[in-house]
Amino acid sequence: MNNNNFRKSGLAVAMAAAMGASAGANAAIEVYSEDGTSFSVDGYFNAFYVNRDDKLNDTRNSDVKMGFLPNTIGFNFSKEMGDLTLGGRSSFWSTINDSLQSPTDTAIDVRQLYATVDGSFGQVLIGKDFGLYARSNIFLDEVLMGFGSPGAATGVSFGNIRTGYPYPNPSAQITYRTPDMGGLKVAAGIFEPANTTPGAQSEQSAPRFEAEVTYGADLNGVSLTGWVNGRHQSSENATTEIDSQGLGYGLKAAVAGFSLTASGFTSEGDVPVLISDAALASEEDADGYLVQGSYTLGANRFVVSYGETDSDQGDFETENTSFAVFHDVNSNFKLVGEYNMFEQTTKSTGADAAEFDTLALGAVITF
C-alpha cells in the first residue's frame, strides 16, 4: 500500500510519536488498492473521566470529556501517475464535550484538507494542514494522547499549549518538503497571514512564512531527533504595524526504554496560544519550555512532564506538571492515567489567576 500522504499527516505523526511506532504502522484501514490507486480510512477515539480541583474557587467537578486530541476520522487518497504520486487527505475532528450544551449538534472541525504531489524532488502540499512553527514541539509531546492542562471555558483541554509551546494552527498553505537527506528534512511554505491590525487601510502585503528543519540519527543505539522551526508575518493599518515572529526548537533522545525530550520557543508580537485574526496592541515578547522524561517497560510507558510559558503579550505566567501512565492493551487500544497540576498568574500584578489539580482516567482506540 502506498500511503505516503497518511504517513506525513499531522495526526499520523502525532500518533507515531505518542505510541512510539512508525507512523504507517497499524494506522489505517485500506479500503481500496489497485492499479496504483489507494484509499484508506483512519480513526482516533477517546474519552476521559476527569476530576478537577479548582483551588482558587474551592470547587471540584467531575466530567466525562475527550482528551487533548479530539475524536477524528481521516480519509487518505493516493494515485501513482508516472514519476509522480498524487495524494490527498481530509480529516474531521469532533468534540464530545458539548454533549449537554448541544446534545445532537456536535461541532466538527476540518483541520486537514489538502492534496500532495510527491516525486524524486520531494513533496508539495496544497490546502489546509497544521503549521510548521511549533509542529514538532507539539507532535513529539510525550503526553499528546493524554489530557493535559485546562484550557477554554468550554472544557477543552490544552495539553501543554501555553505551558511550553504554542499551537501550530491548521492554515491554508503551499508547502514544500525535501526528500530525506540522510536524516535531514526541510519544510518551508507560505501561509494565509493573520490580520493582527484590523482597522482603516488594514493590509497584509506578504504571506506568512513558516519553516521547519528536522534531523534524526541513531548513534550507537541512541536515537536522536532534533528540530528548529519558525514563523514570520507582518500586518499593518493606517496607524500601526505588527511584525509577528517566533522560533521553536527541541531535542529528543531515546535509549533502552528511556526517553528525554526538551523543547522551547520564543516569540514576538504573537500571543503564545495561537495566531489568529485579532488586534494586537504591541510587539511584546513571550517564551516557554517543556522538559519531559519517559520510561517504557513492556506494555507500560511512564511519563513526567514540566512546562512553563512567560508572556508579556498575554500578561500571564503559567506552569504545568504532569505525571502519566500509558498502558497498551494491544496495538489499537490504550489506557491512560494522568495527574496534572496547573498554575497561572497575572504577570503585571503577580496575582493568582488559576490553580487546578486534575485527575484524568481514559481510554484511546485507534484504527
Element (H, E) at 97: none
CA–CA distance, 320 with 340 (Å, rounded to integer): 7
pLDDT 10s digits, 94-139:
888 887 877 777 778 889 999 999 999 999 999 999 999 999 999 9
Q: Enter the C-alpha cell of residue 119.
A: 516525486
Eight-state DSSP code of residue 192: P
Q: Cα(360)–Cα(334) distance, rounded to whole angstroms? A: 14
Higher-confidence residue of 4 and 323: namely: 323
Mean pLDDT, residues 244-266 taken together? 97
Cβ neighbours around 12 below 10 Å, total = 25
Cell 496504483 found at:
36
8 Å CB contact between 17 and 139: yes
Residue 1 is predicted with a pLDDT of: 39
Q: Is the pLDDT of residue 272 over 90?
A: no
Per cent of the chain over pLDDT 90 is 78
In DSSP terms, which residues pair with 104 in a beta bridge? none
Looking at the predicted structure, is the pLDDT value of residue 10 above 90?
Answer: no
The identity of residue 65, as a single letter, is K
**Measured in Å, how far apart are the chain's first and last C-alpha atoms?**
16
Asked if 109 and 70 count as a contact pair (C-beta separation under 8 A), the reply is yes
DSSP H stretches of helix in the chain: 4-7, 10-19, 135-139
pLDDT digits (tens, 9 = 90+) for 169-223: 999 999 999 999 999 999 999 999 999 999 999 999 999 999 999 999 999 999 9
DSSP-assigned letter for residue 69: S
Domains of the chain: 4-366 (2.40.160.10)
